[in-house]
Amino acid sequence: MDERIQKLIDSAKTKFGLGDYYLETHGFFRNVNIFNETIYTFYMEWFPKHVAKPDDDSNPEGTAVIEFNLHAGKFERAIFVMGKTYAKDGIAFPNMDSNDIIKWIEEETGLIYGNQFQLRRQKEREFYFGGCIDGVDVSPAGLIEVKLDSDGKLTMFSVLGPFPSKNMVIEETYHLSFEKIEHLAKEQLKLIEFPSDEQKKIIPVYGVEEIFVTNDGRSTIPIELDDPFYVKIDEIILWDEPINEPFDRKEIRWIEDIKAEQAFSNEPSPDSFPITKEEQDRCVQAVKDFLRQVYPNDTGKWMLKTLKRNKGYIHAKVRANYRDYRVFQRKLEIIIDANRFQVVNYLDTEMMLQTFDQFQKPDKVTVTKEEAFEKIKELFELKPVYVYDFEQKQYVLCGKLDCQYGVHAAGGEVILLDELI
């Protein structure tokens, strides 16, 4: 066995007290982070010696799943299956004191409490931390989770996402106030139709689309749920003739076969490479041929929004070429072989959306946007957040504009949006 791998195995066994365990499987996987860096992770699955191995491929109770981030040189995940641990002389916090846990996290991660992470919430023996910059929230936000059993033994430790250092931050004094950006707040109020599963009814609501406002109040940054490494296409797909052949779905292989040399040399992942103009053109053609084949009568009804690499494939996000007020829109995710530029599989949200067809139709809208805004103007939230700017490659100070409430567009009542979902 590679000496570097053996060293990681021995380290995990000692650190997490796995003397009563045996190593069942191990290997590497890689991802590309928001800074377009390839991150290799060495994973291990340790089975308890005295617990029978299941007949299927599942992990038995008490299995320790350990992950080591080669880029950071630190363990970033340790999960004991079903919250059961048989570790001896492992990591434990007998007093279950949050200060002890914080000190241990600082030692494990090199992060500084209050400067780069802070306690968000605590629930019995569960502790949840979020990323920050001197106590100010960040976006995208890093997360740290720690769980203990009734004896204070560690059953889960997980570090996800970025925790920026000071040299990545443009520090400034926060100047925003709601009065300065009230016009932007009004623009973010949208009429949306929420499907209420409890009421089996479509409910028209004026709700706020959350957004970041730069500290000078002059521009906005949308809150992206996806990472930034996609290519915008925004092209309506048109064709004259359909393709009268059945589409044959191919099985997708998501697990890469990563060799030790690739991992330890930090070989860049293909997912970190840009999609060239030639590749974009070939993807557009692949999407068009797929639509001609699977949706032959839908010329002009679909728009190709973006392309993005993922595990050796290129994912094309396609949405219906219309907008209604529904909170959920018809979308396709088309998966393209990155070598042959042929579609191999796809996902369609139509089946999920069809469940709403049986819901009672929305009542007639009787409340204007101006009336709705006046009802919830005092309920808007505006708080400072450091947001990563992908052009400047630094975190910049913004205000996060949001509102947890909406206005029923037919009845005029102020309602908590979480109660609708």
Per-residue pLDDT tens digits for 185-238: 999 999 999 888 888 889 999 999 899 999 988 888 877 644 567 899 999 999
Instruction: Take residue 327 and report the two structure tokens written for it.
Output: 């909170």
Last residue within a domain, chosen from 324, 357, 390: 357
Rounded Cα distance, 362 and 227, in Å: 34
Q: Residue 408 — pLDDT band, cuts 50, 70, 90? A: very high
Residues 213, 309, single domain; the answer is no
Residues 118, 209, single domain; the answer is no
| Mean model confidence pLDDT for the chain | 92
Residues 154, 185, single domain; the answer is no
User: 103 vs 420, which has greater pLDDT?
Assistant: 103
Q: Is 194 exposed, middle or buried (0-12, 13-18, 19+ CB in 10 A)?
A: buried
Q: Examine residue 84 and state whether it is found in any structural domain, yes or no.
A: yes
Our CA dihedral for 109, 114, 117, 120, rounded to 10 degrees, sits at 130
Whether cis (ω within 30° of 0) applies to the bond prior to 140 is yes
Residue 125 CA to chain centroid, in angstroms? 25
Q: Examine residue 173 and state whether it is found in any structural domain, yes or no.
A: no
pLDDT in tens, 156-178: 999 998 999 888 998 889 999 99
pLDDT of amino acid 318: 96
Q: Examine residue 170 and state whether it is found in any structural domain, yes or no.
A: no
Last residue within a domain, chosen from 315, 341, 357: 357
Query: Looking at residues 265-283, what average pLDDT do you find?
Result: 96
Q: Examine residue 390 and state whether it is found in any structural domain, yes or no.
A: yes
Q: Examine residue 169 and state whether it is found in any structural domain, yes or no.
A: no
Q: Contact at 8 Å (CB) between 192 and 325? A: yes
Q: Examine residue 72 and state whether it is found in any structural domain, yes or no.
A: yes
Rounded Cα distance, 137 and 386, in Å: 6
Is the pLDDT score of 242 beyond 90? yes
Q: Residue 266 — pLDDT band, cuts 50, 70, 90? A: very high
Residues 347, 383, single domain; the answer is no
pLDDT of amino acid 223: 77
Residues 65, 25, single domain; the answer is yes
Indicate the SS3 state at residue 49.
coil
Half-sphere exposure of 7 (CA within 13 A, CB side): 6
Is the pLDDT score of 265 beyond 90? yes
pLDDT in tens, 103-156: 999 999 999 999 999 999 999 899 999 999 999 999 998 999 999 999 999 999
Residues 307, 277, single domain; the answer is yes
pLDDT in tens, 282-307: 999 999 999 999 999 999 999 999 99
Residues 133, 212, single domain; the answer is no
Q: How many domains does the chain have?
A: 3
Q: Examine residue 172 and state whether it is found in any structural domain, yes or no.
A: no
pLDDT in tens, 386-402: 999 888 889 999 999 99
Last residue within a domain, chosen from 339, 357, 375: 357
Pairing of strands 189-196, 220-222: unpaired
Give the structural domain span for 157. 3-164
Angle at 384 between CA 379 and CA 390, to 5 degrees: 125
Q: Residue 356 — pLDDT band, cuts 50, 70, 90? A: confident
Residues 184, 303, single domain; the answer is no
> Percent of the chain, pLDDT > 70?
98
Residues 135, 237, single domain; the answer is no
Q: Examine residue 52 and state whether it is found in any structural domain, yes or no.
A: yes
Residues 345, 407, single domain; the answer is no
User: 62 vs 224, which has greater pLDDT?
Assistant: 62
pLDDT of amino acid 227: 59
Rounded Cα distance, 47 and 53, in Å: 8
Q: Contact at 8 Å (CB) between 132 and 117? A: yes
Residues 11, 157, single domain; the answer is yes
Query: Looking at residues 308-319, what average pLDDT do you find?
Result: 94
Residues 260, 212, single domain; the answer is no
